[in-house]
Every structure is written in C-alpha cells, then in structure tokens.
Amino acid sequence: MVWNMNQKTYSKTFIDEEKIQDLLKKTGEPDDKEVDKVIEKAMLLKGLDLEDVSVLLNIKKPAQLDRLFDAALNIKNLIYGNRLVLFAPLYVSNYCTNNCLYCGFRRDNVDMYRKCLSVDDIKEETRLILEEGHKRILMLMGEEAGECDFDYFLKTIDAAYSVKDSKGNSIRRINIEIAPLTDEEFKKVSKVKIGTYTVFQETYHQETYKKMHPSGRKSDYSWRLYCMDRALKNGLNDVGIGALFGLYDYRFEVMALIMHAQYLDATFGVGPHTISIPRIEHAQNAPAAENIPFPVSDADFKKLVAVIRCAVPYTGMILSTRESPQMRKEVFNMGVSQISAGSKTSPGGYKDAIINPEAEEQFSLNDTRSPGEVITSVIKQGFTPSFCTGCYRLGRVGADFMELAKPGLIKLHCLPNALTTLKEYLVDYADEATKKAGDDLIEKELNDIPDEKRREKTKEFLKRIEDGERDLYF
C-alpha cells in the first residue's frame, strides 16, 4: 500500500515528498550569488545535491537562466562531445489493461483500433526502420493483454534481431520499455539480448499518481517505483527512468528523478543509464492529455533539461519526437544525448496502411520529419549523428559504462564509433547532399580524436566501410 484513498495516508518510499516540497519552498527565488555557486559546483562534473537542484529549479531571472544554459552546454560538450545517438520506437501492441488518463491506449478508449503485431508484422516493421538507416530500436507495448503477453514480447525481440534489410544490415541494439516485471520475468529478460530497460514513473507525486492511474496493475505506485530494484537485482545492467511532464509540478518531478537516481546509485553502485523527459501530447479520449493538469511551458522545459544535465552529468538524456523540430534544436544544446527520429507511436505505423492515425497511436507527435530530414538538420546544426551500439555489445554496461563516460575516454571510443556508424549511414542510405555534409563533418571531427593511433585506425575503418565492410567498431 502506498497511497490509501480512504485513510488519505502515504506510505514511505525513498521518494521523500515532504523533503522535496520543503526544499522547493525554502529555497525561494535564488540570488545571483547562490546561482553562481551551484553552477561552479556543476562544472566540476560531480553532480549536484538536492539543495543545489532546488536552487536551479527556482531560477526565474533571464540572466541567471542564460548562465544555467551555458553551463549545461559546457557540461554536455565536455562529456558527450557533439554526438547525438539516434533510435526509433517499435510498438508491438496497443492493447492495455490499464487506464492511464493521459494515454490513447487506455482500456476505456473504446475508439482505439486495437492491434497486436504478428511476428511477421514485427519483422516488416523492423525492416522498414532499418531501411531508414536505424541500428537501434526501442520496443514497447501496453500492459500485457490477451495474446500480447510477456512471453510473446520476448519472441518479438528475437524476431526483430533476425531481420536483414536490402543492404544486409540488422538491428544491433534493442532497448525495451514495457510495464514493470516480476523477479522471474526480469530473470528471463536478462537472458535475452537487450540494452536498456526503461519505465517512466509518470509522476512521483503519490496523490497525483493515484488519480492518474485509477485501475489496473499500474495503479500500484510502489510496484512501479521499485521495478528498477527488481531489474537490477535480477541481472539487468542498464535501466532508464523518466517522468511524464505535465501531470504535476515539474520542479517536484525533477527533484524526485534526481532522488531516484541517487537512490539507485547508493543502492546498486550505478545510477540510471538514461533519464527521459517526455511532455504530455494530445491523445485520443485521454482526459489528462486534453486538459493537462500542470502544463510545462517551453521556457520551463528548457530549464528542466538544463538542470538535469547539471545534476547528473554522466546520465544519458533522451528526447523524443513529442517535441517540435524547433524545440528539439534548442534543447540539443542543453545536454540531450539520445534522440528518436522518424517515430511512429502505433503498432504497424511504419507501414503506409494507416487510415486514421489517431485511432491507433498512443499520442501525437510534433516532429514528424523523416529520419533523413532529422539527420540532415542535426549535421547542419553541427552535431554528429551516431548509430553506435559499441558499448553494449562489448559489455561496457552498468558501472563500467559510467566509468567510461569520463571525458577523455569518450573521445577514444564514442567519437570514433560515431564517425564509423555515420559513415555507414551515409554510404547506405543518405542522399547526395547529406552525404556531402556528413563526409565534411567526419573530416572535421577526425581531428578531435586525440590519440593518433586511434585516429589512424578510425581512418582505416572509414575506408573499409567505403569499400563495403560493415560493423567496424571500438
């Protein structure tokens, strides 16, 4: 039991709501000296404590915000360089036994056209995603219902890995985002090849959580909150957390996300691999998406991204196509490390056959550009699109990955891998203009590889890719 509606009581978890509310209130609007002190601390790349996070979240003055954005950009450049890792979501099913008030897949949405993809459908979706140049997918589904259960989901993972596209390429890393699992199920997942397991808590505020999740297994706050504990105890290495912004005060959610990250780090010796930052979008027959309880303005959204980057510098941050191209462009500068591109949020969405998207998709998207268009614009903005999956495939996961995420090492592994995977994309999928822009970028970025041997080896790999070899990585 967590939140008992009748008795109006909370049960204690590691999310200390009182502490968060007190800190946010106590901090008030900070003066310049307080802000500068926290920003100086953030620049040490050791992360921030909750008091510091509260200071940054309470910033209102434009000049202070500018300093925060500069710090986030500097931290991002120091740790991640200018890489942005790309992926595409693949929805297996839109059946769901839950009733989340913000989601089009909710059980009570009788207008949703329900589908559970067959293994052949999954293969076709995967092939279409591959033909756009992706190497990394995120597989999702509603909470298991009918034949689309957990064991079936495991089968679809194998099916997706088995596909080759017209260039002979396959998916190299599958991340998953499915409802919290039991210990036994996590044990089974740890035996299949997956990268990160992600679940968003949606809201860390218990009372709001209860209202938003009126029925189904998801109505149990603790079952969801402690799913990462079960995952890490049962053999998974990398987990991703997130909050759905708009359900409750964004400042509370950011403080809670950092609390969650600190808790995982203290308990398991490794924090979350990623933090996702979705904002609520329109969804069919979803009251909380039509009437968003705590809408987050664009200005506050930018602030919260920058604060997370300062608070947990080594944790990846994922930005989806929920955001518009313009907003994505702006927050790429604030510490985002992974982005989706060309996404569809309905099962079977990569095929052309969809007649009424609203009746099949989970929520609407604001960035509907093709992956090619996104990649071209990312290159123009001076970022390096990366399709790298090297760390996971070489076992650089969990705490080992965090160790690696130190600035110097990133340049040794991640930058060369970004360049070789971008080269593959340019040779196999890009149009002439993108190819030219991409090749120019690679030429320039090669100079940034500090180690001469590694630089020469990268050049050799690039040449071999041009000559037809694939999947060369460090």
Q: Per rule CB under 6 A, is residue 218 in the interface with ligand SF4?
A: yes
Q: Per rule CB under 6 A, is residue 280 in the interface with ligand SAM?
A: yes
The rounded distance, in Å, linking the Cα atoms of 258 and 312 is 8
The rounded distance, in Å, linking the Cα atoms of 40 and 43 is 5
Please say which residue, 145 or 449, places its beta carbon nearer to ligand SAM: 145
* 3-class SS of residue 29: coil
C-beta of 36: minimal distance to ligand SF4 in Å? 40
CA 439 from chain centre, in angstroms, equals: 28
**Residue 106 binds which entry of ligand SF4, ligand SAM, none, CB below 5-8 Å type-dependent:** ligand SF4
What phi and psi values does residue 175 have, to the nearest 5 degrees?
A: -95, 155
Residues near 223 by beta carbon (within 8 Å), at least 6 away in sequence:
180, 217
Residues touching ligand SAM, count (CB under 6 A): 21
Q: Per rule CB under 6 A, is residue 115 in the interface with ligand SAM?
A: no
The rounded distance, in Å, linking the Cα atoms of 441 and 419 is 9
Amino acid at 92: V
Selection from 175, 215, 168, 98 nearest residue 338 by Cα: 175
Angle at the Cα of 86 from the Cα atoms of 85 and 89, rounded to 5 degrees: 135
Please say which residue, 143 or 360, places its beta carbon nearer to ligand SF4: 143
Q: What is the DSSP letter of 115?
A: -
C-beta of 251: minimal distance to ligand SAM in Å? 19
Please say which residue, 106 or 114, places its beta carbon nearer to ligand SF4: 106
SS (H, E, C) 435-465: HHHHHHHHHHHHCCCCCHHHHHHHHHHHHHH
**Residue span binding ligand SAM (CB under 6 A) among the ranges 18-26, 78-86, 166-174, 175-183:** 175-183
DSSP per residue over 322-384, as a string? Answer: TS-HHHHHHHHTTT--EEE-S---STTTTSTT-S-GGGT-SS--S----HHHHHHHHHHTT-E
Please say which residue, 201 or 386, places its beta carbon nearer to ligand SF4: 201
The rounded distance, in Å, linking the Cα atoms of 41 and 48 is 7
Q: Per rule CB under 6 A, is residue 67 in the interface with ligand SAM?
A: no
C-beta of 363: minimal distance to ligand SAM in Å? 3
In the region spanning residues 129 to 168, those forming contacts with ligand SF4, defined by CB under 6 A, are 142-143
Tell me, residue by residue from 92 to 131, as one string, x for binding to ligand SF4 by CB under 6 A and - for no binding.
----x-x-x--x-xx-------------------------
Tell me, residue by residue from 291 to 330, as one string, x for binding to ligand SAM by CB under 6 A and - for no binding.
-------------------------------x--------
Q: Per rule CB under 6 A, is residue 361 in the interface with ligand SAM?
A: no
In the region spanning residues 232 to 271, those forming contacts with ligand SAM, defined by CB under 6 A, are 244
Q: List interacting residues with ligand SF4 (CB under 6 A).
A: 96, 98, 100, 103, 105-106, 142-143, 179, 218
Q: List interacting residues with ligand SAM (CB under 6 A).
A: 102-103, 140, 142-143, 177-179, 199-200, 202, 244, 278, 280-281, 283, 286, 289, 322, 362-363
